[in-house]
């Protein structure tokens, strides 16, 4: 059992306790804190259990929680959760994933309407029964119905970091078999889309039968949907579907192009191939026995049915496939049919940003607000990653649940920052803060204290439900404040859990450009905010981008790679990302030179 699966079960436990109405809030908090520890721990807990490590040495893991983890790793179940689920339907947890439906409201729906599933909630809402329950009303009922539609649309999808964790041990399991010569992961995972529905694995081997047997015997396989000579589909315990195809080495490049996709990219590529008298499929690039007109029918372009194929001219590598139609290799993140083939033809593909280009992280938190590490520990973690500079951005007071800082507390923190910075000349410490944007667009800190900061990140953490026009004016007023430098996680979304706020993107981007304010790509894989298409629009409108991790513990700094991948999908080069450049240029661009 991987960390993500352990965390999910502990989270379910905390939610059921809340629905139950546990009189011990500290017990609920203990589970919630354990979830954060498990999710963010770099080492698989199963490995620690196998080694007999003392789990209580981990943050927020006490004796009881350690025993839960050992039980989960060794049995795959948690008896405490099974017992609680006998009292409270476990399906109620699904209801808490809908916007505006917390554990207390779920309990009310269960008690008064007997609702235990999303389907039952939908039927009740459509009949108008939810609106008359105390604490709801017509607007809440409407939002619930909208939330159910969105929930169904994203069912069965996993965040990138979740898939990373789930397939890493599977890939190791396959590579440990001598029959496997090479493995690649294709599909939307390789294109680094923010969520993944299923995973496509390609293996090169001269012994397909041995690879198939190895694959279906992976301990986490719960269901084998199909197993043939060179292809198999399984469902893991996590409910992630994985498809494996075993290939000959000569077909590897063509298969990787085909199964990486996107479908739209492949259609454009195949249409181009037809103009060269070629046909591209998952087995290679072939000459057509007879010239053929390019078809407007997408299915016809993708199909080789009825075509007489001649000499095979390419297919061993992706580079060979693209070269066969006079194109350079196109990075997977760009393969979304957004003009990448035309750009490749003109030699105008971007020099995409890479992780090693990042020179500093501009949003993170310490134990002065809701972070887990001290200021100095965060500094040392940034220095260890080779950064030239970093900004510590603890919360302002409006976000009370985080222990946010008022002016007096900020003044004390700045004093400590100055002392620590003096001891560490190896890295530039930017005096900063993440300031809440209040509902009226004002900032949650007085101007005198803002003037003492080197950098100001402004973010929305409340009133996500404001109408679009009001939300737009809120953001514009905040951007126009002379102290504002960066808008943190601009849309406020949490993937799969909270929808983005509604505002006029064009108006906000234009205002940011006029006021020399950058927009953040929050690298945390639960956010990835801005999304790729928004960053593309920001670049067009001259708005600078920063990529920050929003780390709440030192290990969280390693999430930077997800933000870089999102920026690559947005066609961004190092020159488009402020914290991929020197600090003096960054500050000058923000009007702080």
3-state secondary structure 255-276: HHHHHHCCHHHHHHHHHHHHHC
The domain segmentation of the chain, as residue ranges, is 3-153, 158-247, 254-345, 355-589
User: Who wins on pLDDT, 358 or 42?
Assistant: 358
Query: Residue 155: pLDDT band by 50, 70, 90 thresholds?
Result: confident
- State the Cα–Cα distance between residues 502 and 535, nearest whole angstrom: 17
- State the Cα–Cα distance between residues 480 and 525, nearest whole angstrom: 29
What pLDDT, on the 0 to 100 scale, is given for residue 154? 73
What is the spatial order of strands in the sheet that 518-522 belongs to? 360-361, 389-392, 428-436, 455-459, 486-487, 518-522, 545-548
Rounded to a whole number of angstroms, the CA Rg of the chain reads: 26
Is there a cis peptide before residue 262, judged by omega within 30 degrees of 0? yes
Lowest pLDDT segment from 28-42, 155-169, 415-429: 28-42
pLDDT, tens only, 475-516: 999 999 999 999 999 999 999 878 899 999 999 999 999 999
- CATH topology classification for 3-153: DNA polymerase; domain 1 (1.10.150)
- Token pair 């971007």 is at which residue? 350
Residue 507 — φ and ψ, nearest 5°? -65, -40
| Angle formed at CA 186 by CA 180 and CA 191, multiple of 5 degrees | 145
What pLDDT, on the 0 to 100 scale, is given for residue 306? 44
What are the CA-CA distances from residue 188 to residues 106, 196, 260, 356, 525 (Å)?
Answer: 35, 6, 7, 23, 15
Q: For residue 151, what are its two tokens?
A: 């929930």
Closest CA to 501 of 539, 558, 537, 462: 462
Lowest pLDDT segment from 51-65, 256-270, 353-367, 516-530: 51-65
Largest CA distance in the chain: 80
Residue 303, Ramachandran bin (φ over 0: left; ψ between -120 and 50: alpha; else beta): beta
Write the class of the CATH domain 254-345: alpha beta
Is the fold of 3-153 the same as that of 158-247?
A: no
> Are the C-beta atoms of residues 579 and 546 closer than 8 Å to each other?
yes
What are the CA-CA distances from residue 302 to residues 144, 322, 328, 381, 419 (Å)?
Answer: 40, 16, 21, 49, 64
User: Who wins on pLDDT, 303 or 162?
Assistant: 162
Mean pLDDT (the chain) is 92
176, β-bridge pairs: none
Q: Quote the DSSP letter at residue 554.
A: G
Closest CA to 92 of 16, 14, 28: 16
pTM: 0.85
Closest CA to 546 of 581, 514, 511: 581
Lowest pLDDT segment from 385-389, 446-450, 575-579: 446-450
Closest CA to 268 of 233, 232, 294: 294
Residue 379 class from Cβ within 10 Å (0-12 exposed, 13-18 middle, 19+ buried)? buried
Query: Residue 180: pLDDT band by 50, 70, 90 thresholds?
Result: very high
Query: Residue 85: pLDDT band by 50, 70, 90 thresholds?
Result: confident
Lowest pLDDT segment from 216-230, 297-311, 361-375: 297-311
Query: Residue 295: pLDDT band by 50, 70, 90 thresholds?
Result: low
What are the CA-CA distances from residue 293 to residues 67, 297, 321, 323 (Å)?
Answer: 67, 11, 21, 21
- State the Cα–Cα distance between residues 293 and 277, nearest whole angstrom: 9
Give residues with Cβ within 8 angstroms of 406, minimum separation 6: 396, 397
Domain 355-589 has CATH 3.20.20.140: yes
434, β-bridge pairs: 395, 457
Q: Which ranges of 41-135 does DSSP label H, i.e. alpha helix?
A: 45-50, 63-75, 79-87, 92-95, 103-113, 118-126
- CATH topology classification for 158-247: Beta Polymerase; domain 2 (3.30.460)
Query: Residue 467: pLDDT band by 50, 70, 90 thresholds?
Result: very high
pLDDT of 402 over the 80 cut: no
456, β-bridge pairs: 433
């Amino acid at each position: 059992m991987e960390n993500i699966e352990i965390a999910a079960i502990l989270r379910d436990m905390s939610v059921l306790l809340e629905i139950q109405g546990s009189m011990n809030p500290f017990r609920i908090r203990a589970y919630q804190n354990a979830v954060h520890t498990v999710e963010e721990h770099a080492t698989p807990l199963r490995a620690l259990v196998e080694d007999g490590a003392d789990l209580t040495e981990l943050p927020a893991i006490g004796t009881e929680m350690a025993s839960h983890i050992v039980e989960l790793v060794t049995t795959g179940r948690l008896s405490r959760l099974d017992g609680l689920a006998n009292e409270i339907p476990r399906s109620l947890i699904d209801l808490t994933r809908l916007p505006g439906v917390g554990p207390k409201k779920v309990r009310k729906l269960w008690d008064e309407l007997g609702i235990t599933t999303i389907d039952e909630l939908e039927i009740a809402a459509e009949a108008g029964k939810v609106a008359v329950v105390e604490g709801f009303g017509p607007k809440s009922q409407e939002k619930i119905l909208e939330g159910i539609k969105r929930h169904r649309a994203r069912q069965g999808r996993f965040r990138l970091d979740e898939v990373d964790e789930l397939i890493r041990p599977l890939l190791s399991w396959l590579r440990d078999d001598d029959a496997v010569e090479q493995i690649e992961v294709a599909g939307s995972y390789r294109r680094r889309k923010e969520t993944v529905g299923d995973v496509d694995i390609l293996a090169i081997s001269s012994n397909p039968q041995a690879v198939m047997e190895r694959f279906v015997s992976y301990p986490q396989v719960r269901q084998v949907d199909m197993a043939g000579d060179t292809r198999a589909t399984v469902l893991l315990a996590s409910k992630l579907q994985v498809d494996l195809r075993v290939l000959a080495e000569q077909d590897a490049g063509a298969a990787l192009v085909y199964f990486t996709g996107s479908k739209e990219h492949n259609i454009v590529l195949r249409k181009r191939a037809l103009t060269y008298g070629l046909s591209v499929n998952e087995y290679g690039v072939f000459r057509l026995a007879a010239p053929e007109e390019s078809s407007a029918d997408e299915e016809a372009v993708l199909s080789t049915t009825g075509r007489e194929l001649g000499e095979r001219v390419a297919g061993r590598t992706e580079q060979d496939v693209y070269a066969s139609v006079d194109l350079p290799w196109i990075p997977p993140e760009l393969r979304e049919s957004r003009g990448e083939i035309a750009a490749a033809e003109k030699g105008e593909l971007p020099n995409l940003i890479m992780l090693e280009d990042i020179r500093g992280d501009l949003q993170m938190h310490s134990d002065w607000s809701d972070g887990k590490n001290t200021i100095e520990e965060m500094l040392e973690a940034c220095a260890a990653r080779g950064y030239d500079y970093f900004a510590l951005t603890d919360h302002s007071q409006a976000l009370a649940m985080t222990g946010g800082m008022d002016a007096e507390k900020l003044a004390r923190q700045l004093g400590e920052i100055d002392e620590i910075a003096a001891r560490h000349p190896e890295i530039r410490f930017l005096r900063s803060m993440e300031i809440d944007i209040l509902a009226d667009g004002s900032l949650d800190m007085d101007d005198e204290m803002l003037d003492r900061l080197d950098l100001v990140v402004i973010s929305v953490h409340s009133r996500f439900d404001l109408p679009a026009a009001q939300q737009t004016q809120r953001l514009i007023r905040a951007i126009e404040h002379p102290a504002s430098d960066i808008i943190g996680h601009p849309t406020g979304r949490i993937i799969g859990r909270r929808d983005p706020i509604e505002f006029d993107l064009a108006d906000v981007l234009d205002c940011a450009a006029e006021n020399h304010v950058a927009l953040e790509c929050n690298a945390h894989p639960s956010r990835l905010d801005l999304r790729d298409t928004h960053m593309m629009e920001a670049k067009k409108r001259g708005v600078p981008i920063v990529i920050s991790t929003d780390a709440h513990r030192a290990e969280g700094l390693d999430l930077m790679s997800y933000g870089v991948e999102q920026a690559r999908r947005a066609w961004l080069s190092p020159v488009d990302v402020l914290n991929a450049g020197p600090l003096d240029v960054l500050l000058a661009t923000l009007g702080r030179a």
